[in-house]
Structure 1
Amino acid sequence: MARLSPLLSTREFPVAELAALRLDGEGYPVDECVAPLDEVPSAHQRALALTGHLPARSIAELDTAAWVWGALPDPPPVHTVCLDIEARARIAPSHRLRVREVVLDTADVCRVGLLALTSPLRTAVDLARIRTCWDRSDHEMLRALMSIGRFDAEEFAAMLTRRRNLPRKREALQRLALVGSADGTAGRSALTDPVDVVHGIDAAHRVENPVEVRRVAHLEHEAAERQSIA
Protein backbone atom coordinates (compact mmCIF):
# COMPACT_ATOMS: atom_id res chain seq x y z
CA MET A 1 0.00 0.00 0.00
CA ALA A 2 1.25 3.49 -0.88
CA ARG A 3 2.47 5.63 1.99
CA LEU A 4 -0.25 8.04 3.14
CA SER A 5 0.43 11.73 3.71
CA PRO A 6 1.12 12.76 7.34
CA LEU A 7 -2.35 14.31 7.61
CA LEU A 8 -5.38 13.87 5.37
CA SER A 9 -8.33 16.22 5.12
CA THR A 10 -11.35 16.88 2.93
CA ARG A 11 -8.97 18.73 0.63
CA GLU A 12 -7.57 15.37 -0.45
CA PHE A 13 -10.43 12.94 0.20
CA PRO A 14 -14.22 13.04 0.56
CA VAL A 15 -15.60 12.77 4.11
CA ALA A 16 -16.76 9.20 3.43
CA GLU A 17 -13.26 8.06 2.47
CA LEU A 18 -11.72 9.66 5.54
CA ALA A 19 -14.30 7.88 7.69
CA ALA A 20 -13.48 4.60 5.94
CA LEU A 21 -9.77 5.01 6.76
CA ARG A 22 -10.68 5.31 10.43
CA LEU A 23 -13.12 2.39 10.35
CA ASP A 24 -10.57 0.20 8.56
CA GLY A 25 -8.01 0.94 11.26
CA GLU A 26 -5.64 2.71 8.88
CA GLY A 27 -5.84 6.10 10.54
CA TYR A 28 -6.92 8.03 13.62
CA PRO A 29 -8.76 11.39 13.89
CA VAL A 30 -6.95 14.69 14.41
CA ASP A 31 -9.82 17.15 14.69
CA GLU A 32 -11.50 16.95 11.25
CA CYS A 33 -8.46 15.33 9.65
CA VAL A 34 -7.14 11.78 9.69
CA ALA A 35 -3.54 10.71 10.36
CA PRO A 36 -2.01 7.33 9.41
CA LEU A 37 -1.54 5.01 12.38
CA ASP A 38 2.24 5.22 12.20
CA GLU A 39 2.24 9.01 12.55
CA VAL A 40 3.22 10.07 16.10
CA PRO A 41 0.85 12.67 17.61
CA SER A 42 2.52 16.04 18.14
CA ALA A 43 1.81 19.73 18.54
CA HIS A 44 2.93 20.30 14.95
CA GLN A 45 0.48 17.66 13.73
CA ARG A 46 -2.42 19.20 15.64
CA ALA A 47 -1.47 22.69 14.43
CA LEU A 48 -1.39 21.42 10.86
CA ALA A 49 -4.91 20.06 11.28
CA LEU A 50 -6.13 23.60 12.00
CA THR A 51 -3.92 25.50 9.56
CA GLY A 52 -6.03 26.84 6.74
CA HIS A 53 -9.26 25.99 8.54
CA LEU A 54 -9.17 28.94 10.95
CA PRO A 55 -9.74 32.49 9.66
CA ALA A 56 -6.81 34.61 8.57
CA ARG A 57 -5.26 36.79 11.32
CA SER A 58 -7.02 34.76 14.01
CA ILE A 59 -5.10 33.25 16.94
CA ALA A 60 -6.11 29.92 18.45
CA GLU A 61 -6.72 30.23 22.21
CA LEU A 62 -8.35 28.66 25.29
CA ASP A 63 -9.33 24.98 24.76
CA THR A 64 -8.17 25.05 21.14
CA ALA A 65 -4.69 26.23 22.10
CA ALA A 66 -4.55 23.82 25.05
CA TRP A 67 -5.36 20.94 22.69
CA VAL A 68 -2.69 21.97 20.18
CA TRP A 69 -0.07 22.23 22.93
CA GLY A 70 -1.05 18.75 24.14
CA ALA A 71 -2.67 19.67 27.46
CA LEU A 72 -6.07 18.29 26.37
CA PRO A 73 -6.61 14.85 24.83
CA ASP A 74 -9.36 15.88 22.42
CA PRO A 75 -10.14 18.97 20.34
CA PRO A 76 -13.09 21.05 21.52
CA PRO A 77 -16.34 20.65 19.56
CA VAL A 78 -16.29 24.42 19.00
CA HIS A 79 -12.92 26.06 18.44
CA THR A 80 -12.07 29.40 20.00
CA VAL A 81 -9.89 32.05 18.41
CA CYS A 82 -9.04 35.58 19.40
CA LEU A 83 -8.22 38.74 17.50
CA ASP A 84 -5.81 41.40 18.68
CA ILE A 85 -7.95 44.41 19.55
CA GLU A 86 -5.51 46.58 17.59
CA ALA A 87 -5.89 44.51 14.44
CA ARG A 88 -9.43 45.83 13.84
CA ALA A 89 -10.28 42.61 12.02
CA ARG A 90 -13.66 40.96 11.79
CA ILE A 91 -14.60 37.30 11.40
CA ALA A 92 -17.87 36.02 10.00
CA PRO A 93 -20.02 33.90 12.37
CA SER A 94 -19.65 30.12 12.32
CA HIS A 95 -21.26 27.24 14.20
CA ARG A 96 -17.78 25.79 14.81
CA LEU A 97 -16.02 28.95 15.88
CA ARG A 98 -16.16 31.35 18.82
CA VAL A 99 -14.33 34.65 18.54
CA ARG A 100 -12.98 36.97 21.25
CA GLU A 101 -11.36 40.37 20.86
CA VAL A 102 -8.52 40.80 23.36
CA VAL A 103 -5.40 42.78 24.20
CA LEU A 104 -2.26 40.85 23.31
CA ASP A 105 1.43 41.31 23.97
CA THR A 106 4.15 39.96 21.68
CA ALA A 107 5.06 37.22 24.16
CA ASP A 108 1.43 36.07 24.41
CA VAL A 109 1.41 34.68 20.88
CA CYS A 110 3.48 31.85 19.43
CA ARG A 111 3.57 29.87 16.20
CA VAL A 112 3.63 26.13 15.82
CA GLY A 113 4.24 25.59 12.15
CA LEU A 114 2.00 28.13 10.40
CA LEU A 115 -0.59 28.27 13.18
CA ALA A 116 -0.70 31.27 15.52
CA LEU A 117 -1.83 30.41 19.05
CA THR A 118 -1.57 31.75 22.58
CA SER A 119 1.50 30.70 24.55
CA PRO A 120 1.15 27.99 27.21
CA LEU A 121 1.32 30.65 29.96
CA ARG A 122 -1.28 32.93 28.36
CA THR A 123 -3.48 29.90 27.64
CA ALA A 124 -3.27 28.74 31.26
CA VAL A 125 -4.05 32.19 32.67
CA ASP A 126 -7.03 32.69 30.34
CA LEU A 127 -8.52 29.27 31.04
CA ALA A 128 -8.12 29.64 34.80
CA ARG A 129 -9.99 32.94 34.67
CA ILE A 130 -12.68 32.16 32.13
CA ARG A 131 -13.88 28.61 32.79
CA THR A 132 -17.14 28.62 34.73
CA CYS A 133 -16.53 25.16 36.22
CA TRP A 134 -13.28 23.64 37.42
CA ASP A 135 -12.74 19.93 38.07
CA ARG A 136 -9.92 17.39 38.21
CA SER A 137 -9.49 17.35 34.43
CA ASP A 138 -8.97 21.11 34.44
CA HIS A 139 -6.45 20.71 37.25
CA GLU A 140 -4.50 18.24 35.09
CA MET A 141 -4.76 20.53 32.07
CA LEU A 142 -3.22 23.41 34.02
CA ARG A 143 -0.47 21.14 35.31
CA ALA A 144 0.25 20.00 31.73
CA LEU A 145 0.44 23.57 30.41
CA MET A 146 2.91 24.44 33.18
CA SER A 147 5.05 21.50 32.16
CA ILE A 148 4.87 22.26 28.44
CA GLY A 149 5.58 25.97 28.87
CA ARG A 150 8.07 25.36 31.68
CA PHE A 151 6.68 28.14 33.83
CA ASP A 152 5.92 27.87 37.52
CA ALA A 153 3.17 28.97 39.88
CA GLU A 154 5.09 32.14 40.77
CA GLU A 155 5.25 33.23 37.13
CA PHE A 156 1.55 32.43 36.67
CA ALA A 157 0.63 34.51 39.72
CA ALA A 158 2.96 37.34 38.69
CA MET A 159 1.21 37.68 35.34
CA LEU A 160 -2.13 38.02 37.10
CA THR A 161 -1.09 40.39 39.86
CA ARG A 162 0.71 42.83 37.55
CA ARG A 163 -2.37 43.41 35.40
CA ARG A 164 -4.96 45.97 36.32
CA ASN A 165 -8.71 45.42 36.12
CA LEU A 166 -8.34 41.83 35.01
CA PRO A 167 -11.59 39.91 35.70
CA ARG A 168 -11.62 36.90 38.07
CA LYS A 169 -8.01 37.14 39.23
CA ARG A 170 -8.79 35.73 42.67
CA GLU A 171 -10.59 32.73 41.23
CA ALA A 172 -7.68 32.00 38.89
CA LEU A 173 -5.23 32.09 41.81
CA GLN A 174 -7.46 29.74 43.80
CA ARG A 175 -7.46 27.33 40.89
CA LEU A 176 -3.69 27.63 40.61
CA ALA A 177 -3.43 26.48 44.23
CA LEU A 178 -5.09 23.21 43.23
CA VAL A 179 -2.08 22.28 41.16
CA GLY A 180 -0.46 21.31 44.44
CA SER A 181 3.09 22.16 43.43
CA ALA A 182 4.63 25.45 44.55
CA ASP A 183 7.22 25.44 41.76
CA GLY A 184 5.12 23.90 38.99
CA THR A 185 7.64 21.13 38.37
CA ALA A 186 5.17 18.28 38.47
CA GLY A 187 5.77 15.39 36.13
CA ARG A 188 4.89 15.94 32.50
CA SER A 189 1.51 14.63 31.41
CA ALA A 190 1.54 11.63 29.11
CA LEU A 191 -0.42 13.78 26.65
CA THR A 192 2.27 16.40 26.29
CA ASP A 193 5.10 16.43 23.82
CA PRO A 194 8.21 18.64 23.87
CA VAL A 195 8.02 21.91 21.94
CA ASP A 196 11.29 23.69 22.59
CA VAL A 197 11.21 26.43 19.98
CA VAL A 198 8.37 28.05 18.10
CA HIS A 199 7.90 31.47 16.55
CA GLY A 200 6.46 34.48 18.27
CA ILE A 201 4.48 37.19 16.54
CA ASP A 202 4.60 40.92 17.02
CA ALA A 203 0.85 41.33 17.37
CA ALA A 204 0.85 44.97 16.27
CA HIS A 205 3.14 44.66 13.24
CA ARG A 206 2.91 40.93 12.46
CA VAL A 207 6.70 40.57 12.46
CA GLU A 208 7.84 37.06 13.28
CA ASN A 209 10.71 36.56 15.69
CA PRO A 210 12.15 33.41 17.26
CA VAL A 211 11.10 32.93 20.88
CA GLU A 212 11.72 30.11 23.34
CA VAL A 213 8.66 28.55 24.89
CA ARG A 214 10.61 27.33 27.89
CA ARG A 215 10.67 30.87 29.37
CA VAL A 216 7.75 32.97 28.17
CA ALA A 217 8.01 36.68 29.05
CA HIS A 218 5.22 38.33 30.99
CA LEU A 219 2.61 40.75 29.69
CA GLU A 220 3.11 44.00 31.60
CA HIS A 221 -0.22 45.71 30.93
CA GLU A 222 -3.67 44.82 29.67
CA ALA A 223 -5.85 47.86 29.14
CA ALA A 224 -9.09 46.07 28.32
CA GLU A 225 -10.56 42.81 27.26
CA ARG A 226 -13.78 42.39 25.35
CA GLN A 227 -15.57 39.23 24.35
CA SER A 228 -17.88 38.61 21.43
CA ILE A 229 -19.32 35.29 20.42
CA ALA A 230 -19.70 34.74 16.70
Structure 2
Amino acid sequence: MPPSLPFLLGTAELPLAELHAARLDGELVGVGDRFSPTDIARTVDLRGARELRALALVPRLPAGLVVERRTAAWLHGAWAAPPAPLELCLRSDHRVRVGPNVAWTVRQAVLRPDELLLVRGVLSTTPLRTALDLLRLQPDGRFDRRHRSAVVTLLLMQPRGRERAEAVLHRSPHLPHKQRALDRLGALEL
Protein backbone atom coordinates (compact mmCIF):
# COMPACT_ATOMS: atom_id res chain seq x y z
CA MET A 1 0.00 0.00 0.00
CA PRO A 2 1.54 3.35 -1.01
CA PRO A 3 2.06 5.92 1.75
CA SER A 4 -0.64 8.55 1.98
CA LEU A 5 -0.08 12.27 2.25
CA PRO A 6 -1.01 14.10 5.43
CA PHE A 7 -4.06 16.39 5.36
CA LEU A 8 -1.78 19.42 5.39
CA LEU A 9 1.67 19.90 3.97
CA GLY A 10 4.26 22.49 4.88
CA THR A 11 7.93 23.12 4.40
CA ALA A 12 8.74 20.22 6.73
CA GLU A 13 7.37 17.83 4.08
CA LEU A 14 8.40 19.59 0.84
CA PRO A 15 10.35 22.70 -0.16
CA LEU A 16 8.21 25.81 -0.51
CA ALA A 17 8.91 26.07 -4.25
CA GLU A 18 7.59 22.54 -4.81
CA LEU A 19 4.50 23.24 -2.74
CA HIS A 20 3.70 26.34 -4.80
CA ALA A 21 4.42 24.48 -8.04
CA ALA A 22 2.00 21.72 -7.01
CA ARG A 23 -0.58 24.40 -6.14
CA LEU A 24 -0.15 25.97 -9.57
CA ASP A 25 -0.51 22.54 -11.17
CA GLY A 26 -3.80 22.03 -9.33
CA GLU A 27 -2.54 19.22 -7.11
CA LEU A 28 -2.66 21.26 -3.89
CA VAL A 29 -4.79 24.08 -2.53
CA GLY A 30 -3.66 26.68 -0.04
CA VAL A 31 -5.00 26.51 3.51
CA GLY A 32 -3.52 29.50 5.27
CA ASP A 33 0.24 29.09 5.00
CA ARG A 34 -0.08 25.31 4.52
CA PHE A 35 -1.26 23.19 1.58
CA SER A 36 -3.80 20.40 1.25
CA PRO A 37 -4.20 17.82 -1.53
CA THR A 38 -7.11 18.88 -3.75
CA ASP A 39 -9.01 15.63 -3.30
CA ILE A 40 -9.12 16.21 0.46
CA ALA A 41 -10.00 19.90 0.19
CA ARG A 42 -12.82 19.21 -2.31
CA THR A 43 -14.48 16.46 -0.29
CA VAL A 44 -14.69 18.17 3.10
CA ASP A 45 -17.90 19.80 4.28
CA LEU A 46 -18.12 23.08 6.20
CA ARG A 47 -17.13 21.43 9.48
CA GLY A 48 -14.24 19.59 7.82
CA ALA A 49 -13.02 22.79 6.18
CA ARG A 50 -13.04 24.48 9.59
CA GLU A 51 -10.97 21.60 10.96
CA LEU A 52 -8.45 21.89 8.09
CA ARG A 53 -8.06 25.61 8.76
CA ALA A 54 -7.62 24.91 12.49
CA LEU A 55 -4.90 22.37 11.73
CA ALA A 56 -3.17 25.02 9.60
CA LEU A 57 -3.24 27.45 12.55
CA VAL A 58 -1.97 25.06 15.25
CA PRO A 59 1.77 25.45 14.54
CA ARG A 60 1.49 29.25 14.52
CA LEU A 61 -0.47 29.76 17.75
CA PRO A 62 0.99 30.30 21.21
CA ALA A 63 -0.59 28.05 23.83
CA GLY A 64 -3.46 29.47 25.84
CA LEU A 65 -4.60 32.18 23.43
CA VAL A 66 -7.96 32.39 21.67
CA VAL A 67 -8.41 33.04 17.95
CA GLU A 68 -10.73 36.03 17.45
CA ARG A 69 -12.07 38.67 15.03
CA ARG A 70 -10.83 38.26 11.42
CA THR A 71 -8.73 35.19 12.28
CA ALA A 72 -11.78 33.49 13.80
CA ALA A 73 -13.85 34.62 10.80
CA TRP A 74 -11.31 32.85 8.55
CA LEU A 75 -11.44 29.75 10.73
CA HIS A 76 -15.25 29.70 10.39
CA GLY A 77 -15.06 30.22 6.61
CA ALA A 78 -16.30 33.82 6.56
CA TRP A 79 -12.98 35.51 5.66
CA ALA A 80 -10.95 34.73 2.54
CA ALA A 81 -7.49 34.33 4.10
CA PRO A 82 -5.99 34.44 7.57
CA PRO A 83 -5.10 38.04 8.40
CA ALA A 84 -1.55 39.08 9.02
CA PRO A 85 -0.94 39.52 11.85
CA LEU A 86 -3.23 36.93 13.45
CA GLU A 87 -5.80 38.43 15.82
CA LEU A 88 -5.72 36.65 19.18
CA CYS A 89 -6.98 37.35 22.65
CA LEU A 90 -6.16 36.30 26.18
CA ARG A 91 -9.09 35.39 28.39
CA SER A 92 -9.25 37.77 31.34
CA ASP A 93 -9.45 34.86 33.79
CA HIS A 94 -6.30 33.15 32.45
CA ARG A 95 -2.65 33.96 32.91
CA VAL A 96 -0.41 33.22 29.96
CA ARG A 97 2.98 34.71 29.24
CA VAL A 98 3.33 35.57 25.56
CA GLY A 99 6.20 37.60 24.23
CA PRO A 100 5.69 40.22 21.54
CA ASN A 101 5.69 38.89 18.01
CA VAL A 102 4.98 40.47 14.63
CA ALA A 103 2.98 37.35 13.68
CA TRP A 104 0.08 38.23 16.00
CA THR A 105 -1.71 40.92 17.98
CA VAL A 106 -3.06 40.06 21.42
CA ARG A 107 -5.67 41.80 23.52
CA GLN A 108 -7.32 40.81 26.77
CA ALA A 109 -11.03 39.94 26.61
CA VAL A 110 -13.79 38.78 28.89
CA LEU A 111 -15.16 35.59 27.34
CA ARG A 112 -17.90 33.35 28.68
CA PRO A 113 -17.55 29.58 28.12
CA ASP A 114 -20.51 29.61 25.69
CA GLU A 115 -18.60 32.11 23.50
CA LEU A 116 -15.74 29.67 22.91
CA LEU A 117 -15.37 26.80 20.48
CA LEU A 118 -12.58 24.21 20.39
CA VAL A 119 -11.66 23.03 16.89
CA ARG A 120 -8.80 20.53 16.55
CA GLY A 121 -6.91 22.04 19.47
CA VAL A 122 -7.56 25.66 18.45
CA LEU A 123 -9.68 27.70 20.85
CA SER A 124 -11.78 30.22 18.95
CA THR A 125 -14.63 32.60 19.53
CA THR A 126 -17.95 31.24 18.26
CA PRO A 127 -19.41 32.60 15.01
CA LEU A 128 -21.84 34.80 16.98
CA ARG A 129 -19.14 36.26 19.24
CA THR A 130 -16.87 36.74 16.21
CA ALA A 131 -19.61 38.67 14.37
CA LEU A 132 -20.22 40.86 17.43
CA ASP A 133 -16.51 41.59 17.82
CA LEU A 134 -16.22 42.57 14.15
CA LEU A 135 -19.27 44.84 14.50
CA ARG A 136 -17.99 46.48 17.69
CA LEU A 137 -14.22 46.65 17.41
CA GLN A 138 -13.43 47.50 13.79
CA PRO A 139 -12.90 51.29 13.52
CA ASP A 140 -15.38 53.18 11.34
CA GLY A 141 -12.97 53.92 8.50
CA ARG A 142 -11.92 50.27 8.31
CA PHE A 143 -15.33 48.54 8.48
CA ASP A 144 -15.65 47.80 4.78
CA ARG A 145 -17.48 45.45 2.41
CA ARG A 146 -15.34 42.47 3.49
CA HIS A 147 -16.24 43.01 7.14
CA ARG A 148 -19.94 43.36 6.36
CA SER A 149 -19.84 40.19 4.25
CA ALA A 150 -18.04 38.28 7.00
CA VAL A 151 -20.56 39.42 9.62
CA VAL A 152 -23.50 38.39 7.43
CA THR A 153 -21.91 34.98 6.79
CA LEU A 154 -21.23 34.45 10.50
CA LEU A 155 -24.78 35.44 11.48
CA LEU A 156 -26.28 33.14 8.84
CA MET A 157 -24.42 30.18 10.35
CA GLN A 158 -26.99 29.98 13.13
CA PRO A 159 -30.76 30.23 13.33
CA ARG A 160 -31.99 33.76 13.99
CA GLY A 161 -28.45 35.14 13.96
CA ARG A 162 -29.43 38.81 13.77
CA GLU A 163 -31.97 38.46 16.60
CA ARG A 164 -29.46 36.63 18.77
CA ALA A 165 -26.81 39.30 18.12
CA GLU A 166 -29.26 42.09 18.99
CA ALA A 167 -30.28 40.27 22.17
CA VAL A 168 -26.65 39.93 23.30
CA LEU A 169 -26.01 43.60 22.63
CA HIS A 170 -29.17 44.76 24.45
CA ARG A 171 -28.50 42.67 27.56
CA SER A 172 -24.91 43.98 27.89
CA PRO A 173 -25.29 47.45 29.43
CA HIS A 174 -21.62 48.47 29.61
CA LEU A 175 -20.28 46.91 26.43
CA PRO A 176 -17.74 49.17 24.67
CA HIS A 177 -18.88 50.31 21.20
CA LYS A 178 -22.32 48.79 21.68
CA GLN A 179 -24.13 51.55 19.77
CA ARG A 180 -21.69 51.26 16.86
CA ALA A 181 -22.46 47.54 16.68
CA LEU A 182 -26.24 48.10 16.84
CA ASP A 183 -26.06 50.72 14.07
CA ARG A 184 -23.97 48.45 11.84
CA LEU A 185 -26.19 45.46 12.56
CA GLY A 186 -29.30 47.46 11.62
CA ALA A 187 -27.72 48.46 8.31
CA LEU A 188 -26.90 44.88 7.27
CA GLU A 189 -29.04 43.13 4.68
CA LEU A 190 -29.73 39.59 5.91
1:107 CA displacement: 0.5
1:49 CA displacement: 0.5
CA distance in 1, matches of 2:128, 2:3: 41
SS in 2 for 1:149: coil
Name the counterpart of 1:120.
127
- Give deviations 1:156-212, integer Å, cap 9, x for gaps: 01111222321111111111112224xxxxxxxxxxxxxxxxxxxxxxxxxxxxxxx
Uncovered stretches (5+) of structure 2, i.e. residues with no partner: none
Question: Contact 1:121 / 1:151 at 8 angstroms: preserved in 2?
Answer: no
CA distance in 1, matches of 2:73, 2:160: 15
SS in 1 for 2:17: helix
| Pair 90,148 (structure 1): closer, same or farther in 2 beyond 3 Å | same
1:21 CA displacement: 2.3
Name the counterpart of 2:174.
165
Question: Contact 2:132 / 2:181 at 8 angstroms: preserved in 1?
Answer: yes
CA distance in 2, matches of 1:149, 1:16: 40
Further displaced range: 116-125 or 75-84: 75-84
Letter in 1 for 2:180: E
Give the TM-score normalised by the residue count of structure 2: 0.87
Give the TM-score normalised by the residue count of structure 1: 0.73
1:58 CA displacement: 0.9
Give % identity: 38
Q: How many residue pairs are counted as aligned between the two chains?
A: 181
Higher fraction of helix: 2
Name the counterpart of 2:14.
13
CA distance in 2, matches of 1:136, 1:65: 17
CA distance in 2, matches of 1:29, 1:180: 31
Give the structure, 1 or 2, with the largest relative contact order (CA under 8 Å, sep 6 or more): 1
SS in 1 for 2:40: coil
Uncovered stretches (5+) of structure 1, i.e. residues with no partner: 182-230
Question: Contact 1:119 / 1:149 at 8 angstroms: preserved in 2?
Answer: no
Letter in 2 for 1:161: H
